[in-house]
Amino acid sequence: MSDVVHIRHITEADWDGIVAIESRAYTGLGLSEGRAALRSRAEISPSTCFVLDVGSGPAGYLLALPYPAFEYPDLERTEEAVAPHPAPAPRNLHLHDIVVEEGLRGRGLGQRLLHHFTLTARSRGYERISLIAVGRSDTFWSARGYTAHPGISPGGYGANAVYMSKAVPTDPGAQPEPTGVVPRGPSVPTKRADARVPCP
């Protein structure tokens, strides 16, 4: 792949592209949220939300926000922009969404985005990462160390949605890649990885 790849934080100019990518990925599953809900997730924790740039524009994105363990966003509502969670703040980071454009999947881009996110979670002191696997993507996440919690039934996420989590790997020497060119990484299928997470 000759295009330059960057992972960076989301800016105002990215939202039209993010909304379009999200709609293409989730409308067929009946899980598309719309602009207001997506933006509200990112506004809670902008430092843990990213855009994947390939060439001239966004080719994917990742939204994650602190959430108490075993809780998850309501797809039909925006996040309440009220007082932060009572102290202590949740040490669980919920991977709400990870999507790479369909035409660019299978090139390792989802894996790079996920790796950057995991390093960010570690560097910010989070202890666990949770997500909701949709579209039968739980086997993809199981292979990456996530464990299903059968007692949690994620309402509103479609048939076969599975709440999953894993401990944040500990590696004190690792740091997230700075904004800029992303090194090549192993290929993974990419669709969505979260609560609505097809595979990246």
The answer as to whether 80 is a domain residue is no
The answer as to whether 191 is a domain residue is no
For position 145, which CATH number holds? 3.40.630.30
**Number of domains the chain contains:** 1
Q: Which residues contact 92 (CB under 8 A, 6 or more apart)?
A: 66, 67, 68, 69, 126, 127, 128, 129, 130, 165
Does the pLDDT value for residue 200 go beyond 70?
A: no
3-state secondary structure of 37: helix
Does the pLDDT value for residue 122 go beyond 60?
A: yes
CA quadruple 42, 44, 46, 47: dihedral positive or negative?
negative
pLDDT in tens, 165-176: 999 988 644 544
14: domain range? Answer: 5-75+87-181
The answer as to whether 187 is a domain residue is no
Which segments of 14-148 does DSSP mark as H helices, in order?
15-26, 35-44, 109-123, 138-142
Does the pLDDT value for residue 134 go beyond 80?
A: yes
CB 192, CB 126: distance < 8 Å: no
Average pLDDT of span 32-53:
96
Q: At what angle do helices 35-44 and 15-26 cross, to 10 degrees?
A: 120
The answer as to whether 188 is a domain residue is no
Q: Which of 52-56, 144-148, 175-179: highest mean pLDDT?
A: 144-148
pTM summary value: 0.83
The answer as to whether 194 is a domain residue is no
Average pLDDT of span 111-140:
95
Confidence at residue 38, expressed as pLDDT on a 0 to 100 scale:
97
